[in-house]
Amino acid sequence: MKASISSATLAFLLTRALPSSATSDASDPCAKIAGLAFVPTADAIACQKAFPFNETLRQNVLTVISRVFDFFTFEDYYLDSPAPFQESTTNIRADIARINQTKYETDFDFNADIYNFTTKLNDGHTRWFPNCYNSYQNILPAPVVSLEEDGVQNVFIAPDSVEFLELLGSNFTSFFDSKHFDWRRLAGAKVLEIEGLSAYDYIDVVASTVSGNYLPHGPRVNSAFSSYRIDGTNAFSQRIGDVAGPELLTQTELTFKLITVNSTREETVTVPFLANFIGTPFTDKESFWANNCAANDETNGVDLRLQSNTLPNTTTPRRRARAAIIDSAPKNALGLPAPFLPTLPPVNSSAGVIKSFILPDNKTGVMFLGSFDGDFNQFQTDTLAAITQFQQSNVTHLLLDLTNNGGGFVCLGFFLHSFLAGTDFGYPGFQSTSRANPLAQRILAADIAQGIGENIAFYAPDNWAFLNDTAMPLDFNYNDPSAPLTINGRSDPTSIRFHDICTPFAVPMPATPPFDLKNVAIVSNGDCASTCAMFSTLMNERHNTTIAVFGGKPGEAVEFKGMAGNQVLEWSDLDTEIKTAGLKDAFSRVLLLSANWFAKTGVFQHATQLENRMELP
């Protein structure tokens, strides 16, 4: 790249490159951008802010949110989160009351406030993703990473930015070309300041206010950066990172002080964001609301008792606990640029969420686990195939890469532990409880009274096992009487402790470890969520497994796990649970009136034996 093109001039031209929004235009701000894949962020904001605040919707949304939080197992922990998690301390009920009293101009502002409040809980289980305002993804053509050069760490514009962002196609690049903004020359630039703060200080602001998802600060620092991952389609992918790819449209440009590659000159460059449409197509304001914001068939739950003739038979899987986060930034998956794809031949069975390789030393097998999700049985057959091939190839060391692993089925975390430790090791520690709030107790009592089983209800007793791994009988009430628990001075009783039912597994399990456990290690960027966090914690606690974490910023340790384990139920799942129990009048008469169907929270808390939920480092 030529370093010397008149960058100062370009920066100047760019500063006000974005057209101002069409607010003075009485015409429809959504019609103006309909059908376009990429639009100036200010224009997308004008459309999203075209809907005035509506008190009916506020009361509806806050009522639902307040009742969803009744199920949230961590609520009282937030009143006084112990160090180093104190950044998340808040009084959730006071937050809801504040949002109930705040004056908002637009529906966007109201939703953004809820989004921000739940984001700052820093628990990826518990988020508010309004479809309406997640309809565009903001993208800055300057994703950042933290790199070390001659022993010194600094923030840089990702060196692969050109190969990476060109994957967005000519609609993306032509916008910048038409503005004569050369974003390509920024690739690899050393970043000194962002928005007037030192680069790492700005990263900290993003980690504290935008990233969410992870309880410790360090993993959120890594979320701010661009990083590699396996995406929801099981392809190698690159996250844009939360600096360059925030979910909500709140910024139209970002100002950097930087030094481009092969230059020594500091310059100030203001880089515009571009908004990428990822919602449901519309033609104008009315259809934008109807297609992206109004409630639809998936917003609320259903009474599964009425659909029993279409229910799966007992040979089909139970309603398995999933402990996962939705990392929806960006929803438009970007591939990992071709030059950075692994060149080692993949080990058999790498089509799913697990990609396996043998390193050139012929001694080390690598399993890159994108999640514990996807096809439940394939995860198991792929694990067996990879480890069998490793053994046939005389591999003696195993490296598990858990970078950006968003979690998934609790039972697959249990499975992988059992496979690596051997079944002779016994139960690793994945006990669960649920909050014994009055409605949860009524749901379970109603399930028992009607003989409702695990095929249509999460709360059904036969979905769980006693601590001796015997499945609970259909009439066993594990939530009443409750077990006393006091958290931060508040009484917050829970159910008794129980196990998930995970066995039998789909593949033959080794009785003893396939590899000496001393030769098994884990590497990740600490963005390891829920089931991933439980799995890593257990490997570390039970086998002293070495865990290496990369990234972060100078002077701050990064936890190897980002959160506790929690089974997540979305609003529609909870609503289904209540309707199926026949308690419609008690609760589900409240229907969400707008399509915010990602409102979700952790309901069944999966603590490892050592209570990793609030474990100190």
Binding residues for ligand NAG, rule: CB under 6 A, are 1, 3, 35-37, 54, 56-57, 59, 62-63, 66, 100, 109, 112-113, 116, 169-171, 209-210, 250, 261-262, 313, 348, 360-362, 389, 393-394, 466, 468, 470, 543-544, 593
Query: Which pair of tokens denotes residue 578?
Result: 């209540």
The answer to whether 469 touches 530, Cβ cutoff 8 Å, is no
CB of 1 to ligand NAG, least distance (A): 3
| Cβ neighbours of residue 154 closer than 8 Å, sequence gap 6 or more | 146, 147, 148, 190, 191, 199
Is the CB of 294 or the CB of 557 nearer to ligand NAG? 294
DSSP 3-state percent helix, strand, coil across the chain (nearest 5): 35, 20, 45
Nearer to ligand NAG by C-beta: 210 or 304? 210
Q: Which of residues 63 and 153 has its CB atom nearest to ligand NAG in the complex? A: 63
CB 212 within 8 A of CB 224: no
240 contacts: CB under 8 Å, gap ≥ 6: 139, 140, 143, 226, 329, 330, 334
Closest distance to ligand NAG from the beta carbon of 475 (Å):
12
Find the helix or strand (DSSP H, E) in which 465 lies. strand 464-465
Residue matched to tokens 């001659």: 150
Give the Å distances, CA to CA, from 243 to 194, 209, 295: 10, 11, 31
Task: Take residue 2 and report the two structure tokens written for it.
Answer: 């030529």
User: What is the spatial distance between Cα 300 and Cα 211, in angstroms, rounded to a whole number?
Assistant: 27
Question: Tokens standing for 582?
Answer: 């026949």
What token pair was written down for 409?
Answer: 């089925």
Q: How far is the CB of 226 from ligand NAG (least distance, A)?
A: 18
Token pair recorded at residue 432: 């669960």
Shortest separation between residue 110's beta carbon and ligand NAG, angstroms: 8
Residue closer to ligand NAG, measured from CB, 20 or 362: 362
Distance in Å, CB of 276 to ligand NAG, minimum:
11
- Around Cβ 232, how many Cβ atoms within 10 Å? 18
**Minimal distance in Å, beta carbon 281 to ligand NAG?**
10
Q: How far is CA 28 from CA 285, 386, 559, in A?
A: 6, 56, 48
Is the Cβ of residue 299 or residue 403 nearer to ligand NAG in the bound state?
A: 299
Q: How far is the CB of 362 from ligand NAG (least distance, A)?
A: 4
Q: What is the DSSP string of 123-175?
A: -TTS----TTTTSEEEE-S--EEEEEETTEEEEEE-TTHHHHHGGG-HHHHHH
Helix (H) / strand (E) element for 137: namely: strand 136-139
Nearer Cβ to ligand NAG (62/235): 62
Minimum CB distance to ligand NAG smaller for 113 or for 193: 113
CB of 58 to ligand NAG, least distance (A): 8
CB of 495 vs ligand NAG, minimal distance in Å: 14
Please, which residue, 169 or 317, has the CB nearer to ligand NAG? 169
Q: How far apart are the first and last CA of the chain?
A: 44
Shortest CB 406 distance to ligand NAG, Å = 22
Q: Which residues contact 201 (CB under 8 A, 6 or more apart)?
A: none
| Of residues 2 and 148, the one with the C-beta less far from ligand NAG | 2
Cβ proximity to ligand NAG, 323 vs 366, nearer residue = 366
